[in-house]
Every structure is written in C-alpha cells, then in structure tokens.
Amino acid sequence: MVEVNRLSEDVLVLGAGIIGVSVALHLQRLGRSVVLVDRRAPGEETSYGNAGLIERASVIPYGFPREIKTLLHYGLNRSADVRYHWSFLPKIMPWLARFWWESSPRRLRRAALDMLPLIEHSLDEHAKLADEAGISAQLRPSGWLEAYRGTAAFEKACAAARQLDEFGLNYDLLSPAALREREPSLASVFAGAVHWRDPATIADPGQLVKDYAALFERKGGRIVTADAIGLRQDGESWSLSTPERLYQARNAVVALGPWSNDLYARFGYRVPLAVKRGYHLHFRAEPGAVLNRPMVDIEHGFLLAPMARGIRLTTGIEFAGRDDAPTPVQLERTEPYARAIFPLKERVEATPWMGSRPCLPDMRPVIGAAPRHKGLWFAFGHNHHGLTLGPATGRLLAEMMAGLPTFADPKPFAIERFG
C-alpha cells in the first residue's frame, strides 16, 4: 500500500548529479525541506566521468570552430577531439547549424559575459560546500596545462591567453624547460604550455558529489531512488510515486542532465538539447612517475589527469545518440600518444566509461522557472561545465525560487529564449 505524504516537502529535486545535489543543498540552506530523486546513487552518471576541473579559467565558452583548416580536419572524422557517427549527422545538423551561428565572435562574447558571473563564483561556491562537508582538501589548487607540440601553435596560444587579460586570469607561459620543471615525468616533446593557475582540480569527481549528497542527508535531506520520469502535476503540487510512498511537494526542479528532455518534453517545452558523449579510462603509472595536474595534449586531442583510481585518459566529444552503444574509438586512437608522453602501465578497468554531456547551442544552461507550470523549475544544459558550475547554479536557482535578490542576472538562462 502506498503511503501518502501530502505536501510534506517543499521541493522535489530530480537528478542527483552535481547540479541537482547543489540545488538541493542551497534550497536546504534557505530552510526548504527537499527530497532528492534519482534512479541511481548520487554522482554516478555524467558527474562521474570528467576531467575533474573546477574551470575558473574558462571564461570563453567552447564555440564552433570557424577556421576552414579546422573544419576540414574535423570533417574527415579521424580526430580524437571530435568524432561523429555518420548515421547521426542528419539528426544533429540543425543543432550544429545553430551552434555555428551562436559562435560568431559577437555572439560568443555575449555568451561569455552572460556566463561570467557563474564562472567567477564557481570556486568560491565549491569552497563553501566543501568546507561545510569537511572535504576542503579535495579541492587541489594545482590548475591545469595546455601543452603544444608545435612552436607556431604555442605562440598562437600565448597570444590567445594574453587576450583574456581583461578577465584577471592567472596563467604562466611555460618554455620546455619550465614545463619539465613542473611536470618532470612528461616526455620532452612539447614546444611549450600554458599553465592556467586559477582552476582547482578534483581527484574523484563522483566521490565529491557523493560527499556533497552526504552533507545534504546529514542536514535532514532525503534521497529517494526512483525514476523521475514519473513526475506529475496534481493541482498546485507535484508528485512522484515509488512502491513505498507517494512524494508530493509544491515545487519540482528538473536537473536530469542529458535526460532532462525526457521529462520537460512531456509538459510541452521544446529546447534544442543535444548530448556530447565522452569516454575515459584509468591507467596505473610506472613506479616513480608522477603527474601533478591535468594536462591536455592539444594537437592530439586528449587529456591526462591524476585521479584517485590512477591516471585518467579522457577524449574529446562524440556526436551520437545518447543511448547508442559505446564506440570508444577516440580512446584507441589516443592511447599510443598518451603512452608516448607519460609512462603508463596497464589499464585499471577493462571497459571504458562513457557519459553524455547535456549541451545547448547558445552555450548557456537553462536555469529558472517553467513559464506555463507553476512550481516547475529547470537547471540543465551546462555543456562541458557541470562540475564547475553546479554550486553556483544551485545558489542562483535557490535565490530565484525564494524570491531573493540574485547574485547573477538570470535572464540569459530563461527557457523562454527558445520560444
């Protein structure tokens, strides 16, 4: 028999990744009673597999490339940083066309300025939650490296870094000797590197989300295992049934990452949400070999990061259906290059991990109220920066839901921009 809990909660937060957990914590901080709902334990989907970066330095969103040489390179579909399923191209082309349009210099700068308050508050908001959770040591102030094999590419990167000086970022331009000093276990194949010093790094992003979720529970929050797709509107409340209980609340937040469209589409909202799939594998390092911070081999399109399970090799993006079978071709292409620059031993796991990043073509997430459904709220579509922006997003949405002054202008993130 289902036990009815009528209006006993203030908010149902649907999705226990970094975004949903952060929203739940900030609402809880404002005195709201919150139930956090997911079909899996916190931090076991998209939030689990990433580079472990709180990317304070990424003030310019990842736009669509506009150089002919780069486009031709990607068009051959042999790149490790961008790959696509040929059969998926007809489906994704309208999204890519809008992404290209939104990536013009003028629109890209507008997106950067809209996102800047969230980026600027990302580290501080993480630091507050980590301190409260007792895990501040997990945030390592190491920054990360962009490494370049060619001199011309490195010089171009140096010029691009200097163009960001208006944002007050801290970075070092490293000669080969300076790079060897900071990362002595790397092979001497690079012409130089940019060391972005503002970002913090995380050795286990999934565990970070679990630790934030544990803080939520210690403060009286409830985590429920259920499929959020069952959400329904009952008059002025929202409800979700499980075999044991019927949960009801005045408000519901959709923070389901790449699965958000499965729910918001049921209520008539049309948002151009796409997914960029990504893969990772862990390797043991040779005895004595140390990687002090994440590093990206720009020319070969992969990242190596020191993680709790070993050295994590991650690739770029794959355009394919969210639920299509994994095709970890990019890992196979990059592993030989990774082994050539860092002394990797055997793989830690037999099967690569695959996840999906929820992306919108204008490079801004959806954060805010559903215009046609009272009490329904959205927080999804953070592109490559869900881990970075989770706590800042949680604060912004909680302030909006409580009717408080917001630390950032929420208008650029409204779902109404998509009509």
In a domain, 180, yes or no: yes
Q: Is residue 143 domain-resident?
A: yes
The answer as to whether 54 is a domain residue is: no
- For residue range 186-196, what is the model confidence (pLDDT) as tens digits? 999 999 999 99
Domain count, the chain: 2
Residue 332 domain-assigned (yes or no) = yes
91 lies in the same domain as 160: yes
User: Is there a single domain that holds both residue 156 and residue 288?
Assistant: yes
- pLDDT tops 60 at residue 82: yes
pLDDT one-digit tens code per residue, 270-322: 999 999 999 999 999 999 999 999 999 999 999 999 999 999 999 999 999 99
**Given a cut of 80, is residue 3 above it in pLDDT?**
no
Q: What is the four-CA torsion angle of 380, 384, 387, 392, rounded to 10 degrees?
A: -60
- For residue 84, is it within any domain? yes
- Name the percent of the chain lying above pLDDT 90: 90
pLDDT band at 75 (very low <50, low <70, confident <90, very high): confident
Given this model, what pLDDT does residue 251 score? 97
Looking at 359, 387, 410, the residue that finishes a domain is: 359
Based on the fold, state whether residues 210 and 183 are members of the same structural domain: no
Which tens digit of pLDDT belongs to each residue from 91-147? Answer: 999 999 999 999 999 999 999 999 999 999 999 999 999 999 999 999 999 999 999
Q: CATH number, domain at 187?
A: 3.30.9.10
Boundary-marking domain end, from 359, 374, 396: 359
Residue 31, domain member (yes or no): yes
CB 292 within 8 A of CB 51: no
Mean pLDDT across 404-414: 98
Are residues 241 and 176 part of one domain?
A: no
For residue 113, being part of any structural domain is answered with no
Residue 397 lies in a domain: yes
- Residue 223 corresponds to which amino acid? I
Q: What would the pLDDT profile of 5-42 be if each residue is shown by its tens digit?
A: 454 689 999 999 999 999 999 999 999 999 999 999 99
Same domain, 183 and 213: no
Say what the pLDDT of residue 339 is. 98
pLDDT at res. 308: 97
Residue 81's domain spans which residues?
A: 59-105+138-201+273-359
> What single string gives the DSSP state of each residue in 342-377?
S-EEEESSSS-EEEEEEE-TTS--EEEE-TTSTTEE
Q: Over the stretch 141-175, which tens digit does the pLDDT of each residue have?
A: 999 999 999 999 999 999 999 999 999 999 999 99
Nearest-angstrom CA–CA distance, 363 and 269 = 19
Q: Smallest Cα–Cα separation from 28: which of 334, 355, 296, 402?
A: 402
Domain co-membership, 158 together with 241: no
What's the pLDDT score for residue 305?
A: 98
pLDDT of residue 243: 82
The pLDDT, as a whole number, for residue 68 is 87
Residue 1, pLDDT score = 39
- Residue position matching structure tokens 């796991």: 349
Average pLDDT in the 367-382 region? 98
